[in-house]
Structure 1
Amino acid sequence: MTPHNEAQVGDYAPTVLLSGDPLRSEWIAETFLEKARCVNRIRGALGYTGSYRGMPVSVQTTGIGIPSLSIYVHELLETYGAKALFRVGTCGGLQDHVRIREVVISQAAGTDSCADGRTFGDFRFAPSPDFSLLGMAADHAKGSGLAHHVGPTASSDVFYHSAGDERFRPLRSHGVLAVDMETSGFYTLAARFGARALSICMVVDNIFTHDAIAESERQAVFRPMVELALATASKAFRLEQ
Protein backbone atom coordinates (compact mmCIF):
# COMPACT_ATOMS: atom_id res chain seq x y z
CA MET A 1 0.00 0.00 0.00
CA THR A 2 0.97 3.64 -0.47
CA PRO A 3 -0.65 6.91 0.66
CA HIS A 4 -2.42 7.04 -2.71
CA ASN A 5 -3.10 3.38 -3.46
CA GLU A 6 -4.74 0.68 -1.35
CA ALA A 7 -3.60 -2.19 -3.59
CA GLN A 8 -1.29 -4.80 -2.15
CA VAL A 9 2.02 -5.72 -3.78
CA GLY A 10 1.13 -8.25 -6.45
CA ASP A 11 -2.25 -6.70 -7.23
CA TYR A 12 -0.93 -4.98 -10.38
CA ALA A 13 0.24 -6.80 -13.48
CA PRO A 14 3.64 -6.00 -15.02
CA THR A 15 1.78 -4.37 -17.94
CA VAL A 16 -0.33 -1.32 -17.06
CA LEU A 17 -2.51 0.98 -19.16
CA LEU A 18 -2.69 4.53 -17.82
CA SER A 19 -5.80 6.66 -18.20
CA GLY A 20 -6.28 10.15 -16.85
CA ASP A 21 -10.02 9.67 -16.36
CA PRO A 22 -11.42 7.13 -13.85
CA LEU A 23 -14.50 6.59 -16.01
CA ARG A 24 -12.25 5.70 -18.94
CA SER A 25 -10.31 3.31 -16.72
CA GLU A 26 -13.55 1.66 -15.66
CA TRP A 27 -14.69 1.43 -19.28
CA ILE A 28 -11.38 -0.13 -20.39
CA ALA A 29 -11.57 -2.74 -17.62
CA GLU A 30 -15.19 -3.62 -18.33
CA THR A 31 -14.78 -3.64 -22.12
CA PHE A 32 -11.43 -5.32 -22.68
CA LEU A 33 -10.35 -7.25 -19.59
CA GLU A 34 -11.44 -10.69 -18.47
CA LYS A 35 -12.16 -11.20 -14.77
CA ALA A 36 -11.29 -7.59 -14.00
CA ARG A 37 -11.24 -6.66 -10.32
CA CYS A 38 -10.89 -3.24 -8.78
CA VAL A 39 -7.67 -2.95 -6.77
CA ASN A 40 -7.72 0.76 -5.92
CA ARG A 41 -10.43 3.30 -5.14
CA ILE A 42 -8.53 5.90 -3.10
CA ARG A 43 -9.34 9.46 -4.26
CA GLY A 44 -11.37 7.95 -7.10
CA ALA A 45 -8.17 6.98 -8.94
CA LEU A 46 -9.60 3.64 -9.97
CA GLY A 47 -7.23 0.77 -10.64
CA TYR A 48 -8.14 -2.62 -12.12
CA THR A 49 -6.39 -5.88 -12.87
CA GLY A 50 -7.53 -8.65 -15.21
CA SER A 51 -6.30 -10.34 -18.34
CA TYR A 52 -6.37 -9.76 -22.08
CA ARG A 53 -5.96 -12.79 -24.35
CA GLY A 54 -4.05 -14.59 -21.65
CA MET A 55 -1.85 -11.62 -20.73
CA PRO A 56 -2.13 -10.20 -17.19
CA VAL A 57 -2.83 -6.47 -17.50
CA SER A 58 -3.86 -3.63 -15.25
CA VAL A 59 -5.44 -0.23 -15.78
CA GLN A 60 -4.66 2.71 -13.50
CA THR A 61 -6.13 6.20 -13.34
CA THR A 62 -3.50 8.95 -13.15
CA GLY A 63 -5.50 12.19 -13.09
CA ILE A 64 -4.62 15.28 -15.09
CA GLY A 65 -1.10 16.65 -15.54
CA ILE A 66 2.47 15.61 -14.82
CA PRO A 67 2.35 16.13 -11.02
CA SER A 68 -0.65 13.82 -10.62
CA LEU A 69 0.55 11.21 -13.11
CA SER A 70 4.00 11.19 -11.55
CA ILE A 71 2.65 10.04 -8.19
CA TYR A 72 0.86 7.02 -9.64
CA VAL A 73 3.56 6.06 -12.13
CA HIS A 74 6.32 6.41 -9.53
CA GLU A 75 4.45 4.10 -7.17
CA LEU A 76 3.57 1.61 -9.90
CA LEU A 77 7.26 1.35 -10.78
CA GLU A 78 8.83 1.52 -7.33
CA THR A 79 6.26 -0.26 -5.15
CA TYR A 80 4.22 -2.47 -7.46
CA GLY A 81 6.88 -3.62 -9.93
CA ALA A 82 5.29 -2.50 -13.18
CA LYS A 83 7.53 -3.08 -16.20
CA ALA A 84 5.67 -1.83 -19.29
CA LEU A 85 3.29 1.12 -19.20
CA PHE A 86 1.06 2.55 -21.91
CA ARG A 87 -0.59 5.95 -21.67
CA VAL A 88 -3.98 5.93 -23.41
CA GLY A 89 -5.07 9.54 -23.25
CA THR A 90 -6.20 12.57 -25.20
CA CYS A 91 -4.32 15.30 -27.02
CA GLY A 92 -4.85 18.41 -29.11
CA GLY A 93 -3.47 18.50 -32.63
CA LEU A 94 -0.97 21.23 -33.52
CA GLN A 95 -0.67 20.50 -37.25
CA ASP A 96 -3.51 20.90 -39.74
CA HIS A 97 -3.08 17.32 -40.95
CA VAL A 98 -3.43 15.93 -37.41
CA ARG A 99 -7.18 15.53 -37.37
CA ILE A 100 -9.71 14.67 -34.71
CA ARG A 101 -10.39 10.95 -34.22
CA GLU A 102 -6.82 10.11 -35.27
CA VAL A 103 -4.17 8.60 -33.04
CA VAL A 104 -0.80 10.16 -32.18
CA ILE A 105 2.03 7.88 -31.06
CA SER A 106 4.59 10.04 -29.26
CA GLN A 107 8.16 9.59 -30.47
CA ALA A 108 9.54 12.22 -28.06
CA ALA A 109 7.95 14.73 -25.69
CA GLY A 110 9.08 18.22 -24.76
CA THR A 111 7.49 20.18 -21.93
CA ASP A 112 7.08 23.56 -20.24
CA SER A 113 6.90 21.80 -16.87
CA CYS A 114 9.34 22.49 -14.06
CA ALA A 115 8.35 19.31 -12.23
CA ASP A 116 11.91 17.95 -12.42
CA GLY A 117 13.43 21.11 -10.99
CA ARG A 118 17.20 20.93 -11.29
CA THR A 119 17.38 17.16 -11.77
CA PHE A 120 19.34 17.51 -15.01
CA GLY A 121 21.42 20.53 -14.05
CA ASP A 122 22.17 22.69 -17.09
CA PHE A 123 20.79 20.09 -19.48
CA ARG A 124 17.32 19.71 -20.94
CA PHE A 125 16.44 16.04 -20.88
CA ALA A 126 14.75 14.72 -24.05
CA PRO A 127 12.38 11.95 -22.89
CA SER A 128 11.37 9.31 -25.40
CA PRO A 129 9.51 5.97 -25.43
CA ASP A 130 10.78 2.43 -25.59
CA PHE A 131 11.94 2.01 -29.19
CA SER A 132 10.66 -1.54 -29.64
CA LEU A 133 7.19 -0.65 -28.33
CA LEU A 134 7.13 2.39 -30.59
CA GLY A 135 8.02 0.28 -33.61
CA MET A 136 5.48 -2.42 -32.81
CA ALA A 137 2.71 0.13 -32.30
CA ALA A 138 3.54 1.97 -35.52
CA ASP A 139 3.64 -1.29 -37.50
CA HIS A 140 0.33 -2.49 -36.07
CA ALA A 141 -1.36 0.86 -36.68
CA LYS A 142 -0.18 0.85 -40.30
CA GLY A 143 -1.13 -2.77 -40.87
CA SER A 144 -4.61 -2.33 -39.42
CA GLY A 145 -5.33 0.81 -41.42
CA LEU A 146 -5.68 2.98 -38.34
CA ALA A 147 -5.39 6.71 -39.04
CA HIS A 148 -2.34 7.63 -37.01
CA HIS A 149 0.76 9.82 -36.74
CA VAL A 150 4.17 9.10 -35.23
CA GLY A 151 6.34 12.01 -34.16
CA PRO A 152 7.21 14.57 -31.49
CA THR A 153 4.66 15.84 -29.00
CA ALA A 154 4.68 18.34 -26.14
CA SER A 155 3.26 18.34 -22.62
CA SER A 156 2.08 21.50 -20.89
CA ASP A 157 1.39 22.10 -17.22
CA VAL A 158 -1.14 24.83 -18.04
CA PHE A 159 -4.49 24.26 -19.74
CA TYR A 160 -5.85 27.82 -19.49
CA HIS A 161 -2.83 29.99 -20.32
CA SER A 162 -2.79 33.79 -20.41
CA ALA A 163 -1.01 33.70 -23.79
CA GLY A 164 -3.73 31.53 -25.29
CA ASP A 165 -3.02 29.22 -28.20
CA GLU A 166 -0.33 31.49 -29.67
CA ARG A 167 2.18 29.92 -27.31
CA PHE A 168 2.02 26.74 -29.41
CA ARG A 169 3.15 28.39 -32.66
CA PRO A 170 6.89 27.72 -32.11
CA LEU A 171 6.06 24.05 -31.51
CA ARG A 172 3.90 23.96 -34.62
CA SER A 173 6.65 25.52 -36.73
CA HIS A 174 9.08 22.83 -35.55
CA GLY A 175 6.82 19.95 -36.54
CA VAL A 176 5.44 19.01 -33.13
CA LEU A 177 2.29 17.00 -33.79
CA ALA A 178 0.19 17.45 -30.67
CA VAL A 179 0.06 18.61 -27.07
CA ASP A 180 -1.13 16.85 -23.93
CA MET A 181 -0.41 17.33 -20.22
CA GLU A 182 1.37 14.11 -19.23
CA THR A 183 3.60 12.32 -21.76
CA SER A 184 6.88 14.12 -21.05
CA GLY A 185 6.71 13.37 -17.34
CA PHE A 186 5.63 9.81 -18.07
CA TYR A 187 8.61 9.15 -20.34
CA THR A 188 11.00 10.78 -17.88
CA LEU A 189 9.88 8.56 -15.00
CA ALA A 190 10.09 5.44 -17.15
CA ALA A 191 13.67 6.35 -18.04
CA ARG A 192 14.50 6.93 -14.39
CA PHE A 193 13.24 3.48 -13.38
CA GLY A 194 14.43 1.63 -16.49
CA ALA A 195 10.87 0.74 -17.50
CA ARG A 196 9.29 0.46 -20.95
CA ALA A 197 6.82 3.19 -21.83
CA LEU A 198 4.71 4.32 -24.76
CA SER A 199 2.18 7.14 -25.03
CA ILE A 200 -0.70 6.71 -27.46
CA CYS A 201 -3.24 9.53 -27.57
CA MET A 202 -6.50 10.20 -29.37
CA VAL A 203 -6.82 13.63 -30.99
CA VAL A 204 -9.99 15.15 -29.53
CA ASP A 205 -9.44 18.68 -30.84
CA ASN A 206 -7.10 20.69 -33.03
CA ILE A 207 -5.66 23.88 -31.56
CA PHE A 208 -5.39 25.68 -34.89
CA THR A 209 -8.23 24.35 -37.04
CA HIS A 210 -10.58 24.46 -34.03
CA ASP A 211 -12.16 21.12 -34.91
CA ALA A 212 -13.29 19.15 -31.87
CA ILE A 213 -15.29 16.08 -31.08
CA ALA A 214 -18.37 16.39 -28.89
CA GLU A 215 -17.92 15.57 -25.22
CA SER A 216 -20.58 12.87 -25.56
CA GLU A 217 -18.49 11.18 -28.28
CA ARG A 218 -15.26 10.91 -26.35
CA GLN A 219 -15.73 7.45 -24.86
CA ALA A 220 -16.86 6.04 -28.20
CA VAL A 221 -13.75 7.14 -30.10
CA PHE A 222 -11.26 5.67 -27.61
CA ARG A 223 -11.64 2.05 -28.74
CA PRO A 224 -9.01 2.14 -31.57
CA MET A 225 -6.46 3.75 -29.23
CA VAL A 226 -6.96 1.15 -26.51
CA GLU A 227 -6.96 -1.70 -29.02
CA LEU A 228 -3.64 -0.45 -30.39
CA ALA A 229 -2.11 -0.28 -26.90
CA LEU A 230 -3.33 -3.78 -26.01
CA ALA A 231 -2.18 -5.24 -29.32
CA THR A 232 1.28 -3.75 -28.80
CA ALA A 233 1.42 -4.92 -25.18
CA SER A 234 0.26 -8.40 -26.19
CA LYS A 235 2.93 -8.75 -28.87
CA ALA A 236 5.64 -7.57 -26.48
CA PHE A 237 4.36 -10.02 -23.86
CA ARG A 238 4.44 -12.96 -26.30
CA LEU A 239 7.97 -12.11 -27.45
CA GLU A 240 9.17 -12.26 -23.85
CA GLN A 241 7.70 -15.71 -23.16
Structure 2
Amino acid sequence: MTPHNQAKKGEIAKTVLMPGDPLRAKFIAETYLENPKCFNTVRNMLGYTGTFEGREISVMGSGMGMPSIGIYSYELYHFYDVEAIIRIGSAGGIADHVKLRDVVIGMGACTDSNYAAQYRLPGTFAPTADFGLLEKAVSLARAQGVPFHVGNLISSDLFYGDYADSLTDWKKMGVLAVEMEAAALYMNAARCGKKALAMATVSDLPLTGEATTPEERQTTFTQMMEIALRLA
Protein backbone atom coordinates (compact mmCIF):
# COMPACT_ATOMS: atom_id res chain seq x y z
CA MET A 1 0.00 0.00 0.00
CA THR A 2 0.98 3.64 -0.46
CA PRO A 3 -0.24 6.82 1.29
CA HIS A 4 -2.70 7.29 -1.60
CA ASN A 5 -3.64 3.76 -2.68
CA GLN A 6 -4.87 0.92 -0.45
CA ALA A 7 -4.63 -1.75 -3.17
CA LYS A 8 -2.54 -4.83 -2.56
CA LYS A 9 -0.11 -6.26 -5.10
CA GLY A 10 -2.03 -8.15 -7.77
CA GLU A 11 -5.26 -6.17 -7.40
CA ILE A 12 -4.41 -3.74 -10.23
CA ALA A 13 -4.18 -4.80 -13.87
CA LYS A 14 -1.16 -4.19 -16.11
CA THR A 15 -3.15 -1.52 -17.98
CA VAL A 16 -4.98 1.28 -16.16
CA LEU A 17 -7.43 3.75 -17.65
CA MET A 18 -7.21 7.10 -15.83
CA PRO A 19 -9.97 9.67 -16.05
CA GLY A 20 -9.43 12.75 -13.95
CA ASP A 21 -12.79 12.45 -12.20
CA PRO A 22 -13.08 9.46 -9.82
CA LEU A 23 -16.83 9.38 -10.49
CA ARG A 24 -16.03 8.83 -14.16
CA ALA A 25 -13.88 5.88 -13.08
CA LYS A 26 -16.88 4.53 -11.16
CA PHE A 27 -19.15 5.05 -14.19
CA ILE A 28 -16.75 3.19 -16.50
CA ALA A 29 -16.34 0.30 -14.06
CA GLU A 30 -20.06 -0.11 -13.48
CA THR A 31 -21.02 0.37 -17.15
CA TYR A 32 -18.35 -1.60 -18.99
CA LEU A 33 -16.41 -3.94 -16.70
CA GLU A 34 -17.52 -7.42 -15.73
CA ASN A 35 -17.26 -8.19 -12.00
CA PRO A 36 -15.61 -4.88 -11.08
CA LYS A 37 -13.98 -4.80 -7.66
CA CYS A 38 -13.05 -1.56 -5.92
CA PHE A 39 -9.40 -1.54 -4.85
CA ASN A 40 -9.10 2.04 -3.62
CA THR A 41 -11.21 4.60 -1.77
CA VAL A 42 -8.42 6.67 -0.18
CA ARG A 43 -9.29 10.39 -0.59
CA ASN A 44 -12.25 9.15 -2.65
CA MET A 45 -9.88 8.53 -5.58
CA LEU A 46 -11.82 5.48 -6.66
CA GLY A 47 -10.13 2.58 -8.43
CA TYR A 48 -11.62 -0.64 -9.84
CA THR A 49 -10.42 -3.80 -11.55
CA GLY A 50 -12.59 -6.01 -13.74
CA THR A 51 -12.63 -7.60 -17.16
CA PHE A 52 -13.65 -6.28 -20.56
CA GLU A 53 -14.01 -8.73 -23.46
CA GLY A 54 -12.01 -11.25 -21.43
CA ARG A 55 -9.10 -8.94 -20.58
CA GLU A 56 -8.31 -7.65 -17.10
CA ILE A 57 -8.41 -3.85 -16.94
CA SER A 58 -8.25 -1.35 -14.11
CA VAL A 59 -9.69 2.14 -14.04
CA MET A 60 -8.77 4.79 -11.48
CA GLY A 61 -9.18 8.53 -11.09
CA SER A 62 -6.13 10.76 -11.33
CA GLY A 63 -7.46 14.00 -9.90
CA MET A 64 -6.81 17.40 -11.46
CA GLY A 65 -3.43 18.72 -12.48
CA MET A 66 0.09 17.41 -12.96
CA PRO A 67 0.98 17.08 -9.26
CA SER A 68 -2.03 14.78 -8.77
CA ILE A 69 -1.60 12.53 -11.81
CA GLY A 70 2.13 12.65 -11.11
CA ILE A 71 1.59 10.96 -7.74
CA TYR A 72 -0.93 8.34 -8.86
CA SER A 73 0.85 7.37 -12.09
CA TYR A 74 4.22 7.18 -10.31
CA GLU A 75 2.81 4.80 -7.73
CA LEU A 76 1.07 2.65 -10.34
CA TYR A 77 4.22 2.33 -12.44
CA HIS A 78 6.69 1.85 -9.60
CA PHE A 79 4.78 0.04 -6.85
CA TYR A 80 2.03 -1.90 -8.65
CA ASP A 81 3.88 -3.13 -11.77
CA VAL A 82 1.53 -1.30 -14.14
CA GLU A 83 2.89 -1.30 -17.70
CA ALA A 84 0.57 1.17 -19.44
CA ILE A 85 -1.63 4.08 -18.37
CA ILE A 86 -4.19 5.55 -20.74
CA ARG A 87 -5.51 8.93 -19.69
CA ILE A 88 -9.12 9.46 -20.73
CA GLY A 89 -9.97 13.02 -19.83
CA SER A 90 -11.56 16.19 -21.05
CA ALA A 91 -9.91 19.12 -22.79
CA GLY A 92 -10.65 22.54 -24.13
CA GLY A 93 -10.37 22.66 -27.91
CA ILE A 94 -8.37 25.62 -29.21
CA ALA A 95 -7.63 24.77 -32.86
CA ASP A 96 -10.28 26.05 -35.27
CA HIS A 97 -11.10 22.59 -36.65
CA VAL A 98 -11.56 20.97 -33.21
CA LYS A 99 -15.23 20.75 -32.21
CA LEU A 100 -17.21 19.83 -29.07
CA ARG A 101 -17.10 16.07 -28.32
CA ASP A 102 -14.29 15.41 -30.80
CA VAL A 103 -11.57 13.14 -29.44
CA VAL A 104 -8.02 14.51 -29.33
CA ILE A 105 -5.22 11.94 -29.16
CA GLY A 106 -2.10 13.48 -27.67
CA MET A 107 0.97 12.66 -29.78
CA GLY A 108 2.86 15.14 -27.62
CA ALA A 109 2.18 17.35 -24.64
CA CYS A 110 3.60 20.85 -24.39
CA THR A 111 3.51 22.37 -20.93
CA ASP A 112 3.95 25.57 -18.95
CA SER A 113 4.82 23.47 -15.90
CA ASN A 114 8.24 23.09 -14.26
CA TYR A 115 7.61 19.35 -13.72
CA ALA A 116 10.64 18.31 -15.78
CA ALA A 117 13.05 20.30 -13.58
CA GLN A 118 13.31 17.31 -11.23
CA TYR A 119 15.22 15.37 -13.92
CA ARG A 120 18.00 18.01 -14.13
CA LEU A 121 18.28 17.62 -17.90
CA PRO A 122 20.71 19.78 -19.90
CA GLY A 123 17.91 21.02 -22.15
CA THR A 124 14.15 20.88 -22.74
CA PHE A 125 12.38 17.51 -22.68
CA ALA A 126 9.56 16.86 -25.19
CA PRO A 127 6.91 14.60 -23.56
CA THR A 128 5.44 12.17 -26.10
CA ALA A 129 3.03 9.25 -26.18
CA ASP A 130 3.90 5.60 -26.70
CA PHE A 131 3.67 5.14 -30.47
CA GLY A 132 2.20 1.63 -30.29
CA LEU A 133 -0.71 2.83 -28.15
CA LEU A 134 -1.17 5.92 -30.30
CA GLU A 135 -1.17 3.93 -33.55
CA LYS A 136 -3.73 1.47 -32.21
CA ALA A 137 -5.94 4.26 -30.83
CA VAL A 138 -6.03 5.92 -34.25
CA SER A 139 -7.02 2.63 -35.89
CA LEU A 140 -9.80 2.06 -33.35
CA ALA A 141 -11.12 5.61 -33.73
CA ARG A 142 -11.25 5.20 -37.50
CA ALA A 143 -12.99 1.84 -37.22
CA GLN A 144 -15.61 3.29 -34.85
CA GLY A 145 -16.17 6.38 -37.02
CA VAL A 146 -15.23 8.70 -34.15
CA PRO A 147 -14.27 12.29 -35.04
CA PHE A 148 -10.66 12.56 -33.85
CA HIS A 149 -7.51 14.62 -34.16
CA VAL A 150 -3.88 13.69 -33.46
CA GLY A 151 -1.31 16.23 -32.38
CA ASN A 152 -0.02 18.37 -29.55
CA LEU A 153 -1.82 19.09 -26.30
CA ILE A 154 -0.86 21.86 -23.90
CA SER A 155 -0.79 20.61 -20.30
CA SER A 156 -1.19 23.72 -18.20
CA ASP A 157 -0.68 24.28 -14.49
CA LEU A 158 -3.23 27.08 -14.69
CA PHE A 159 -6.99 26.91 -15.02
CA TYR A 160 -7.46 30.59 -14.16
CA GLY A 161 -4.40 32.18 -15.75
CA ASP A 162 -3.43 35.85 -15.56
CA TYR A 163 -2.35 36.09 -19.23
CA ALA A 164 -5.52 36.23 -21.30
CA ASP A 165 -3.88 35.47 -24.66
CA SER A 166 -1.98 32.33 -23.63
CA LEU A 167 -4.28 29.91 -25.49
CA THR A 168 -4.17 32.04 -28.61
CA ASP A 169 -0.39 31.86 -28.51
CA TRP A 170 -0.45 28.04 -28.19
CA LYS A 171 -2.98 27.90 -31.01
CA LYS A 172 -0.50 29.73 -33.26
CA MET A 173 1.92 26.83 -32.65
CA GLY A 174 -0.62 24.26 -33.89
CA VAL A 175 -1.65 22.98 -30.45
CA LEU A 176 -5.05 21.29 -30.61
CA ALA A 177 -6.38 21.45 -27.06
CA VAL A 178 -5.60 22.41 -23.48
CA GLU A 179 -5.75 20.09 -20.48
CA MET A 180 -3.80 19.68 -17.22
CA GLU A 181 -2.28 16.20 -16.91
CA ALA A 182 -0.77 14.60 -20.01
CA ALA A 183 2.75 16.03 -19.82
CA ALA A 184 3.38 14.71 -16.30
CA LEU A 185 2.02 11.29 -17.27
CA TYR A 186 4.27 11.15 -20.33
CA MET A 187 7.31 12.20 -18.29
CA ASN A 188 6.66 9.61 -15.57
CA ALA A 189 6.26 6.90 -18.20
CA ALA A 190 9.46 7.93 -19.97
CA ARG A 191 11.48 8.04 -16.76
CA CYS A 192 10.58 4.47 -15.75
CA GLY A 193 10.43 2.91 -19.22
CA LYS A 194 6.66 2.34 -19.27
CA LYS A 195 3.86 3.24 -21.72
CA ALA A 196 1.38 6.10 -21.70
CA LEU A 197 -1.21 7.70 -23.94
CA ALA A 198 -3.51 10.64 -23.29
CA MET A 199 -6.85 10.96 -25.03
CA ALA A 200 -9.34 13.70 -24.32
CA THR A 201 -12.87 14.45 -25.37
CA VAL A 202 -13.40 18.12 -26.11
CA SER A 203 -15.65 19.38 -23.34
CA ASP A 204 -15.47 23.08 -24.16
CA LEU A 205 -14.07 25.63 -26.58
CA PRO A 206 -12.53 28.29 -24.33
CA LEU A 207 -11.85 30.72 -27.16
CA THR A 208 -15.53 30.78 -28.20
CA GLY A 209 -17.31 30.01 -24.92
CA GLU A 210 -19.08 26.81 -26.06
CA ALA A 211 -19.20 24.05 -23.43
CA THR A 212 -20.78 20.78 -22.31
CA THR A 213 -22.29 20.34 -18.82
CA PRO A 214 -20.54 18.63 -15.86
CA GLU A 215 -23.07 15.78 -16.11
CA GLU A 216 -22.25 15.27 -19.81
CA ARG A 217 -18.52 15.18 -19.02
CA GLN A 218 -19.07 12.53 -16.37
CA THR A 219 -21.28 10.12 -18.28
CA THR A 220 -21.49 10.79 -22.02
CA PHE A 221 -17.92 10.73 -23.32
CA THR A 222 -18.45 7.08 -24.19
CA GLN A 223 -16.73 6.98 -27.60
CA MET A 224 -13.38 7.81 -26.01
CA MET A 225 -14.02 5.32 -23.21
CA GLU A 226 -14.76 2.53 -25.68
CA ILE A 227 -11.60 3.26 -27.69
CA ALA A 228 -9.54 3.09 -24.49
CA LEU A 229 -11.17 -0.14 -23.32
CA ARG A 230 -10.37 -1.86 -26.61
CA LEU A 231 -6.90 -0.35 -26.60
CA ALA A 232 -6.04 -1.78 -23.18
TM-score with structure 2 setting the length: 0.97
Report if aligned partners of 2:151, 2:175 keep a CA contact under 8 Å in 1: yes
Query: CA shift at 1:121, angstroms?
Result: 2.9
Write the deviation string for residues 201-222 of structure 1: whole angstroms up to 9, x where unpaired.
0100012222111223223431
2-side partners of 1:13 and 1:198: how far apart?
16
Write the deviation string for residues 16-74 of structure 1: whole angstroms up to 9, x where unpaired.
00011111010010011100010000011111111111111101111100001111000
1-side partners of 2:121 and 2:231: how far apart?
35
* Range with bigger deviation, 187-196 or 119-128: 119-128
Q: How high is the sequence identity, in percent, across the aligned residues?
A: 44
Report if aligned partners of 1:96, 1:209 keep a CA contact under 8 Å in 2: no
Residue pairs, 1:64-143, within 5 angstroms: 64-143=64-143
**Structure 1: which 5+ residue stretches go unaligned?**
234-241
Report if aligned partners of 1:95, 1:208 keep a CA contact under 8 Å in 2: no
Classify the secondary structure of the residue corresponding to 2:230: helix
Residue pairs, 1:1-241, within 5 angstroms: 1-164=1-164, 166-233=165-232
Amino acid at match of 2:231: T
2-side partners of 1:18 and 1:51: how far apart?
16
1-side partners of 2:172 and 2:162: how far apart?
21
Classify the secondary structure of the residue corresponding to 2:11: coil
Change (3 A) 1:121 1:196: closer
Classify the secondary structure of the residue corresponding to 1:117: helix
Query: CA shift at 1:102, angstroms?
Result: 0.7
Report if aligned partners of 2:189, 2:195 keep a CA contact under 8 Å in 1: yes
Amino acid at match of 1:101: R
2-side partners of 1:223 and 1:100: how far apart?
14
Aligned residues: 232
When the two chains are superposed, the root-mean-square deviation of aligned CA atoms in Å is 1.1
Report if aligned partners of 2:116, 2:187 keep a CA contact under 8 Å in 1: no
2-side partners of 1:116 and 1:187: how far apart?
11
**Structure 2: which 5+ residue stretches go unaligned?**
none
Query: CA shift at 1:7, angstroms?
Result: 0.6
Classify the secondary structure of the residue corresponding to 1:200: strand
Query: CA shift at 1:115, angstroms?
Result: 2.1
Query: CA shift at 1:177, angstroms?
Result: 0.2
Amino acid at match of 1:66: M
